[in-house]
Structure 1
Amino acid sequence: MKGRSYKEQIARRLTLVTALIVMVVFAIIYLVVSFTVVQNIDKELELETQKHVGQIFLENGVIKFMHKDEWQEQEHQQIQLNPIFIEIVDLEGNSMDKSPNLRNNRLKYFPGRGSDEDAWTIKIGDQEVRQKQILLKNKGELEGYLLVATSFEDASELLSKLRLILLVLYPGILISLYLIMLYLAGKSIQPIQKIIHKTNQITQSSLDERVPILDREDEIGQLTRSINELLDRLEQSMIREKQFTSDASHELRTPLSVLRGTLEVLIRKPRTSEQYVEKIQTALTSIDRMSSMIDQLLALARVEKANISPKDEVEIISFVEELADQAKLETGRDVQFIPESSVPIFVHVSEKSLQMILNNLIQNAVKYTQGTVNLVVGKTDREGYILVKDEGPGISQESLSKIFDPFYRDPEVLEKVIPGTGLGLAIVKKLALETGVKISVMSDKEEGSTFRLTF
């Protein structure tokens, strides 16, 4: 089943909310009108009751009107034009007298109800009336009741018509509201439809295209800018991916070409044993270079794909001291540990990632210098730091911004034929980003380099 469009969803939701509001408003209108009509009728009934209750007295135990001709008034004789119905009953509810307009009908007697009771609606024959029941007393003794009623037909007809009008208006209003909401929702999402159309046109081969930026500061403008920023990141990622693939292919092709050339030379004609040994050693060197590069590529892939282990609370003074001792044993080089704080320094970092970062930095320092490698640990007012210093040839200013790129190597290093793959610092940078460690480098030609890790 095809899902509803977003504008239909908006229109339906707004219409539903409006429908509830209109329903409440219509209900309030009906209740207010009904209450007002009933109150007005009850006031008329109260006035009529007060007018007649003073005209009744007891004579020989029989309840009578003071002026019998009151019963002959036009309002008591007519049934159609807001007549007033009056009936007098004894304590048992037996009728003692009534207005002529009641004819064969009687008002309804309710035992126990007195003068303080509100009026109520009853049926007399086929019409509705509002009735009130008044106590009749003689010298403080209850003798009977005066029942007074007035027609409720006009009011009932008015309320019925009002109900009908509201019930007919309600669906008409809802349908009109839905169509209006549908139109307005369609107009509102037109910018989004333009964004969708444009983004559907952007493919892998056209990542340089961007969604037109709308000159607005609302959510749609923010969405446009967010999409463009996402496309920027995707484009940069694709560029880096292509460059990485190109560099990896180039770096692997070189030792493969050397290996192929060496083997081709070996099979052209018989060689002396010394020549075979020499060529095989050249081939093994190429294989070792490829193995080292593949190991680094796998390490970089693992860093990019794997979830970094949770951060631990690491005391970096003792941690770096152990790494310095281990590096001194493994390399046989002068790796010095220099603490610049006399108290323990605790930082929150992935211990495994930190070890990989420092191992790569130490290996690089040992590779490019014949002097001492210093590992310095200290703390400023707010943050701990580790410095890896070497006494090597330094890095040119042109290369400082590129040394963390995969496969990048300083041209001067290539001239000196120093072995390497150009992936070590790329792994260091990736690990630092993943673990929240800030890494920076300072270097001057012929004065060595200093890599700084800040926590």
Structure 2
Amino acid sequence: MKSSYKEKIARRLTLVTALLVMFVFGIIYLVVNFTVVETIDQELEIESNKHVGQIFLANGEIKFMHKDEWQEKEHQEIQLNPIFIEIVDLEGNSMDKSPNLGTNRLLFHPNWNSKEGAWTINIGGQEVRQKQMLLKHEGKPEGYMLLATSFEDARELLDNLRNILLILYPGILISLFLTMRYLAGKSIQPIQKIISKTNQITQSNLNERVPVLDQEDEIGQLTRSINELLNRLEQSMIREKQFTSDASHELRTPLSVMRGTLEVLIRKPRTSEEYVKKIQTALESIDRMSAMIDQLLALARVERSGESMKDEVEIMSFVEEVAVQIEKETGREVRFHTEESIPVFVQVSEKSLQMILNNLIQNAIKYSDGPIDLEIQVENGKPLIFVKDQGHGIGEESIKKIFDPFYRDPSALEKLIPGTGLGLAIVKKLAQESGIEISVSSELGSGSAFRLGF
């Protein structure tokens, strides 16, 4: 069974917190343990320093500076933090011990000394903390004094602390998980609203948008990104519908002409001249449809190909060659000029640039009678190519639409200038894919200038 994102967030946060709490509890236990042991060891150190100056060995005999010290209550009984003392010789044989030890003995080890601190041992079923001191007489080692104190209360304290921490730990984890789960549910509520709203948006209501929350956090950014995606989808659908409608309309016109021409031919016998004329009309319609289909396929290939592979192109010689080639093919004057004295290199797809220039120049030839000018400039380190004609120009309203598929200037339609309205749409798409900025400036009666910026 798949768990929800809320459960995953709660589990992950609880796991991280569990590790942190475990670490903190471990630190608390170690600090308390160290503090308790250190306190007991300090008490042992104080006691040993007090007794080491009062008890000493001389020629194998125990000497007391204050015999009554041995009779203190803490050495007689085993309650109230008793102090256990035992005197042993260098071989560890017991020479004397405090009465509270009874029949028990402290642990002796010949290699231990006071510098190694104290250690925990069990005597008579009781846990004690023991320290071992070397006894000297006139600088000569005579034996050892073993001191110990009860560790029972400290052990009970540490065990209680451990048990409390072990009991608290699962309770804290359960509380944390429930709290995290609740907070995670609250945190993802905006996402659930986004999901609910996006599920309601279909192709029929692409104009609807996800409500944007008044916040600059990740949820707000996600909402804006989704709305921007919906904007792009809506515009794409609008363009697709318009494109389909325009393509159907443009193809329907030559088909209607062909059908009407053929219907006229079969109504009654015609002279050979009439047949030739009508067939030529039909062929012109076929040529128009073929040209339109070729342009549509070219536009579809551009949209499908994505970003083109870029080459390093020296545009001065490249543009000059294009001008010479088109001048030979069309017989129209195509002039190239530039004031730049050194080669100008750009990163661009050579095939795309070739198609862009061909379409722009062919367009200029179609809509003007004079020479076509190709000019290269460099402004602020930015290479520019201008394609200029001396035609009748483009109206202000048409400039905004000339790159739309199937759009044609009304003046061109009035003058019956042939065309499909796809050439500049292909140029625009190729320029976008190649990273070229394209713009146009024009005035009626003064010609047009298309500007390509790299």
- TM interval, short-chain normalised: over 0.9
Partner SS for 2:180: helix
Q: What residue number does 1:439 align with?
A: 438
Correspondence 1:221-240 to 2 at 5 A: 221-240=220-239
* Pair 1:349 & 2:356 matched: no
Q: What residue number does 1:263 align with?
A: 262
Correspondence 1:134-145 to 2 at 5 A: 134-145=133-144
Correspondence 1:56-455 to 2 at 5 A: 56-58=55-57, 61-455=60-454
Report how far residue 115 of structure 1 moved: 2.9
Deviation string for 1:357-382 (max 9, x for gaps)?
Answer: 00000110111112111111122232
- Tell me how far apart the structure 1 counterparts of residues 242 and 336 of structure 2 sit (CA, whole Å): 38
Report how far residue 428 of structure 1 moved: 0.3
Partner SS for 1:106: coil
- Tell me how far apart the structure 1 counterparts of residues 159 and 423 of structure 2 sit (CA, whole Å): 88
Report how far residue 268 of structure 1 moved: 2.3
Partner SS for 1:441: strand
Report how far residue 337 of structure 1 moved: 1.2
Report how far residue 105 of structure 1 moved: 1.1
**Contact 2:76 2:100 survives alignment (8 Å):** yes
- Tell me how far apart the structure 1 counterparts of residues 134 and 58 of structure 2 sit (CA, whole Å): 17
- Tell me how far apart the structure 1 counterparts of residues 140 and 395 of structure 2 sit (CA, whole Å): 121
Q: 2:188 is matched by which residue type in structure 1? A: I
Correspondence 1:10-25 to 2 at 5 A: 10-25=9-24
**Contact 1:309 1:352 survives alignment (8 Å):** no
- Tell me how far apart the structure 2 counterparts of residues 217 and 57 of structure 1 sit (CA, whole Å): 81
Query: 4+ residue stretches of structure 1 with deviation over 6 A?
Result: none
Deviation string for 1:245-289 (max 9, x for gaps)?
Answer: 100010011111111122222222222221211111111111101
- Tell me how far apart the structure 1 counterparts of residues 72 and 98 of structure 2 sit (CA, whole Å): 9
Report how far residue 396 of structure 1 moved: 1.0
- Tell me how far apart the structure 1 counterparts of residues 294 and 160 of structure 2 sit (CA, whole Å): 88
**Contact 1:136 1:144 survives alignment (8 Å):** yes
Partner SS for 1:257: helix
- Tell me how far apart the structure 1 counterparts of residues 329 and 246 of structure 2 sit (CA, whole Å): 31
Report how far residue 295 of structure 1 moved: 0.2
Partner SS for 1:116: helix
Q: 1:248 is matched by which residue type in structure 2? A: A
- Tell me how far apart the structure 1 counterparts of residues 59 and 356 of structure 2 sit (CA, whole Å): 121
Partner SS for 1:49: helix
**Contact 2:58 2:137 survives alignment (8 Å):** no
**Contact 1:440 1:451 survives alignment (8 Å):** yes
Which region of structure 1 is more displaced relative to structure 2, 14-23 or 65-74? 65-74
Q: Which runs of 5+ in 2 are unaligned?
A: none
- Tell me how far apart the structure 2 counterparts of residues 114 and 59 of structure 1 sit (CA, whole Å): 20
Which region of structure 1 is more displaced relative to structure 2, 15-24 or 55-64? 55-64
Which region of structure 1 is more displaced relative to structure 2, 430-439 or 272-281? 272-281
Which region of structure 1 is more displaced relative to structure 2, 398-407 or 231-240? 231-240
**Contact 2:394 2:442 survives alignment (8 Å):** yes
- Tell me how far apart the structure 2 counterparts of residues 157 and 187 of structure 1 sit (CA, whole Å): 45
- Tell me how far apart the structure 2 counterparts of residues 408 and 41 of structure 1 sit (CA, whole Å): 97
- Tell me how far apart the structure 1 counterparts of residues 20 and 59 of structure 2 sit (CA, whole Å): 63
Q: Aligned pair in 2 of structure 1 residues 297, 59: CA closer, same or farther (>3 Å)?
A: closer
Q: Aligned pair in 2 of structure 1 residues 57, 390: CA closer, same or farther (>3 Å)?
A: closer
Q: 2:246 is matched by which residue type in structure 1? A: D
**Contact 2:59 2:142 survives alignment (8 Å):** no
Q: What residue number does 2:4 align with?
A: 5
Q: Aligned pair in 2 of structure 1 residues 328, 60: CA closer, same or farther (>3 Å)?
A: closer
- Tell me how far apart the structure 1 counterparts of residues 59 and 450 of structure 2 sit (CA, whole Å): 125
**Contact 1:308 1:350 survives alignment (8 Å):** no
- Tell me how far apart the structure 2 counterparts of residues 119 and 100 of structure 1 sit (CA, whole Å): 22
**Contact 2:86 2:94 survives alignment (8 Å):** yes
**Contact 2:117 2:131 survives alignment (8 Å):** yes
Report how far residue 300 of structure 1 moved: 0.2
Report how far residue 34 of structure 1 moved: 0.6
Partner SS for 1:80: coil
Q: 2:307 is matched by which residue type in structure 1? A: I
**Contact 1:340 1:379 survives alignment (8 Å):** no
Report how far residue 5 of structure 1 moved: 1.8
Q: 1:423 is matched by which residue type in structure 2? A: L
TM value normalised by structure 1: 0.97
- Tell me how far apart the structure 2 counterparts of residues 60 and 443 of structure 1 sit (CA, whole Å): 125
Residues matched between the structures, number: 454
Q: 2:406 is matched by which residue type in structure 1? A: F
Q: What residue number does 2:45 align with?
A: 46
**Contact 1:258 1:283 survives alignment (8 Å):** yes
- Tell me how far apart the structure 2 counterparts of residues 288 and 58 of structure 1 sit (CA, whole Å): 129
Report how far residue 69 of structure 1 moved: 4.1
- Tell me how far apart the structure 2 counterparts of residues 65 and 316 of structure 1 sit (CA, whole Å): 112
- Tell me how far apart the structure 1 counterparts of residues 368 and 58 of structure 2 sit (CA, whole Å): 136
Deviation string for 1:33-55 (max 9, x for gaps)?
Answer: 11111111111111221222222
TM value normalised by structure 2: 0.97
Report how far residue 432 of structure 1 moved: 0.7
Report how far residue 389 of structure 1 moved: 1.0
Which region of structure 1 is more displaced relative to structure 2, 260-269 or 298-307? 260-269
Deviation string for 1:184-243 (max 9, x for gaps)?
Answer: 111111111111111111111101111112111222122222221221121111111110
Report how far residue 451 of structure 1 moved: 0.8
